[in-house]
């Protein structure tokens, strides 16, 4: 059966990195004797420019019909006016919400050959392998009311942090299931010393833990977690946390790898259809120069193969090809390439596809 994959290149370096990941998927399909139908659709700033809407109905319809979606990045200075009525980021948030993609998996592994690219000491990084499970459709990102108003002649703005027990339970349960296939440890991160929503989070996480006697649960406050991430990163296995904390802690954890450009993610809901995207943004400073790292997008394609298409063997193949390219010295500029030796986005993609062909 043909699998339909929707490509949402988006803005900035998004189209550059998605192009390479698309070619990797095409190479894998040919090898596996599978047929993938690719459809390109617009999202984010590009969609605002074309349609006045960061998530046009045609894009959302195509995503609903697809088996899987691969996204580059959205946003950029062109659409950043704080008073703008529509923003590129609304397209991505709207898509996550509309498809019910409540869990965002962000695996962060420190590759030994990249230790020199990280500002952390190499000895700290040895064997670091953390899976973040970030809640993706609740919390501050979506809570109501959210508004801006003038009260008594002064401006004021409101965002709301709200979680229901069911929203917490489903994402925590997924984190426990995933921990079963790893090192059986879950760290639930909250701010229960201050926030009511975090106290509910902690209570529900403790109840869910009872369903998984084989998995150890610990709770940690988000501020001390932020420090422990860079002082003892090996002490974590699976980290589950709410939307905003997960956004912030995962960019911090990207430091383990030396570059934000290599971390993939999978956004999953109840069915098998998922949205796959590198965790980095549109990198306006690099856009249009062909120098961005495509590895985050390519590893997101690997997650797509595994979680939405049931092609675990092919996903392993892509991940091994990326590791082999890194081990044999392939580096884009952000990975600490020696002067004059940095690969372009396209050359890195090509190098990884050569490893796939040779496997």
Residues that bind ligand IPM (CB under 6 A): 75, 89, 92-93, 247, 279
**Catalytic: 334?**
no
**Catalytic: 223?**
yes
**Catalytic: 251?**
yes
d(CA 56, CA 48): 9
Q: Which of 20, 167, 237, 247 binds Mn ion (CB under 5 A)?
A: 247
Catalytic residue among 102, 141, 163, 276: 141
Structure tokens at 161: 């942090």
Our CB check for ligand NAD shows the closer of 292 and 315 to be: 292
- Segment holding 119, helix H or strand E: none
Catalytic residue among 191, 237, 276, 334: 191
Contacts of 35 (CB under 8 A, 6+ apart): 2, 3, 29
Burial state string for 205-221 with b = 16 or more CB within 10 A and e = fewer than 16: beebbeebeebebebbe
Binding partner of residue 286 among ligand NAD, ligand IPM, Mn ion, none, CB cut-off 5 to 8 Å per kind = ligand NAD
Q: How distant, in Å, are the alpha carbons of 27, 92, 231, 298 from that of 70?
A: 16, 12, 33, 10
**Catalytic: 53?**
no
Query: By CB under 6 A, how many residues form the interface with ligand NAD?
Result: 23
d(CA 81, CA 87): 9
- Segment holding 268, helix H or strand E: strand 266-268
Catalytic residue among 40, 61, 166, 223: 223
Our CB check for Mn ion shows the closer of 24 and 93 to be: 93
Contact 43, 70 (CB under 8 A): no
Q: Which of 3, 6, 128, 292 binds ligand NAD (CB under 6 A)?
A: 292
Under rule CB under 5 A, residue 319 binds Mn ion? no
Write out the residues near Mn ion by the rule CB under 5 A.
Answer: 247
- Residues that are catalytic: 141, 191, 223, 247, 251
């Amino acid at each position: 059966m043909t699998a339909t994959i929707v490509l949402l290149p988006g803005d900035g370096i998004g189209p550059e990195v998605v192009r390479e990941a698309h070619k990797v998927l095409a190479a894998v399909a040919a090898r596996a004797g599978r047929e993938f139908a690719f459809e390109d659709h617009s999202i984010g700033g590009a969609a605002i420019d074309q349609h006045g809407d960061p998530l046009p109905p045609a894009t959302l319809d195509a995503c609903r019909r697809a088996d899987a979606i691969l996204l580059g990045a959205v946003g950029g200075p062109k659409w950043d006016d704080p008073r703008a009525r529509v923003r590129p980021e609304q397209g991505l948030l709207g898509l996550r919400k509309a498809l019910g993609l409540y869990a965002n998996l962000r695996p962060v592994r420190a590759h030994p050959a990249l230790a020199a690219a990280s500002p952390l000491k190499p000895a700290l990084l040895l064997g670091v392998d953390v899976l973040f499970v970030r809640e993706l459709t609740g919390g501050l990102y979506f809570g109501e009311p959210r508004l801006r108003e003038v009260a008594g002649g002064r401006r004021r703005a409101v965002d709301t942090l709200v979680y229901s027990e069911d929203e917490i339970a489903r994402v925590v349960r997924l984190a426990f299931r995933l921990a079963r296939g790893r090192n059986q440890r879950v760290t639930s991160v909250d701010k229960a010393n201050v926030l009511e929503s975090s106290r509910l989070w902690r209570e529900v996480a403790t109840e869910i833990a009872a369903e998984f006697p084989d998995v150890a649960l610990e709770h940690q406050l988000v501020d001390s977690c932020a420090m422990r991430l860079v002082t003892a990163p090996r002490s974590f296995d699976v980290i589950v946390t709410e939307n905003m904390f997960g956004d912030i802690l995962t960019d911090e954890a990207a430091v383990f790898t030396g570059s934000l450009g290599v971390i993939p993610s999978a956004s999953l809901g109840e069915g098998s259809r998922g949205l796959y995207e590198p965790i980095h943004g549109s990198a306006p400073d690099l856009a249009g120069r062909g120098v961005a790292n495509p590895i985050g997008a390519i590893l997101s394609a690997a997650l797509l193969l595994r979680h939405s298409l049931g092609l675990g063997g092919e996903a392993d193949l892509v991940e091994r090809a990326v590791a082999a390219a890194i081990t044999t010295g392939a580096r884009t500029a952000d990975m600490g390439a020696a002067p004059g030796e940095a690969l372009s986005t396209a050359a890195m993609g090509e190098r990884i596809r050569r490893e796939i062909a040779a496997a």
